[in-house]
Amino acid sequence: MTPIRLLIVDDHPVVRDGLRGMFSGDPEFVVVGEAADGAEAIDLAGRLVPDVILMDLRMNGVNGAEAIRAIAERQIPSRVLVLTTYDSDSDVVPAIEAGATGYLLKDSPRDELFRAVRAASRGESVLASSVATRLMSQLRNPASESLSDRELEVLSLIAQGETNRGAAVRLFISEATVKTHLVHIYSKLNVNDRAAAVATAFERGLLPTSRGT
């Protein structure tokens, strides 16, 4: 059987070392590369085209969700299995929407991780139980379509022509947080980009019309 080719992406060397040692000890897998951040992951994914990418989410520079989206946009056929410590909505939703095949937590048992990698290599979705429960809860009790105060603040600044970075500076939050707010705004307004979000917000009276677009 041809081994499953893995790319490990994590900003902590000790985590990469541990995962490499774990998978290298089983002939069913072969680690073909390691990346310390999202930008390096995108580059290596394009050059190595691994079967499965084990992707951390919270990394400096290009984060995991951004890397997943870039890999999908480049039509790299690798499957991305998120492996992270976090299972909050702000982590899970952007990763799944970006195109992750699965989502596991770093405290998953070795056998569960191996099964997940095998499943991901076949294109099957794999979710940690806590993540699956969270997503099911969202489906059964969908969030209100109304935007939060912070989301309205972000959208108002975008309507004024601010970039993500500019909005982050104005609101004293990180650029990554602005991007997360935008993902939620797009979902709630059922749009795909900034221009459509602003136009829809004006149409619904969510932003003051006196400012214009």
Structural domain for 133, as ranges:
4-140
Instruction: Count Cα neighbours of 151 within 13 Å in the Cβ-side half-sphere.
Output: 20
In a domain, 209, yes or no: no
Structural domains in the chain (count)? 2
User: Do the Cβ atoms of 131 and 94 come closer than 8 Å?
Assistant: no
> Does residue 111 sit within a domain?
yes
Q: Which of 69, 71, 27, 28 is nearest to 49 (CA)?
A: 71
**73 & 128 share domain:** yes
Q: Quick: pLDDT tens for 64-78.
A: 999 999 999 999 999
Q: Tens of pLDDT along 146-172? A: 788 899 999 999 999 999 999 999 999
Q: Measured on CA atoms in the order 62, 47, 124, 119, is the torsion positive or negative?
A: negative
Is 128 found in the same domain as 39? Answer: yes
Q: What is the CATH number of the domain that holds 160?
A: 1.10.10.10
One-letter amino acid of 131: V
Does one domain contain both 60 and 102? yes
For residues 28 and 96, state if they share a domain. yes
Tell me: do 124 and 165 sit in the same domain. no
Sheet holding 102-105, edge to edge: 29-35, 4-9, 52-55, 79-84, 102-105, 126-127
Asked if the structure places residue 125 within a domain, the reply is yes
User: Distance of alpha carbon 125 from its chain centroid, rounded?
Assistant: 15
Q: Do residues 57 and 84 both lie within one domain?
A: yes
Query: Per-residue pLDDT tens for 83-124?
Result: 999 887 678 878 888 999 999 999 999 999 999 999 999 999
- Does residue 210 fall inside a structural domain? no
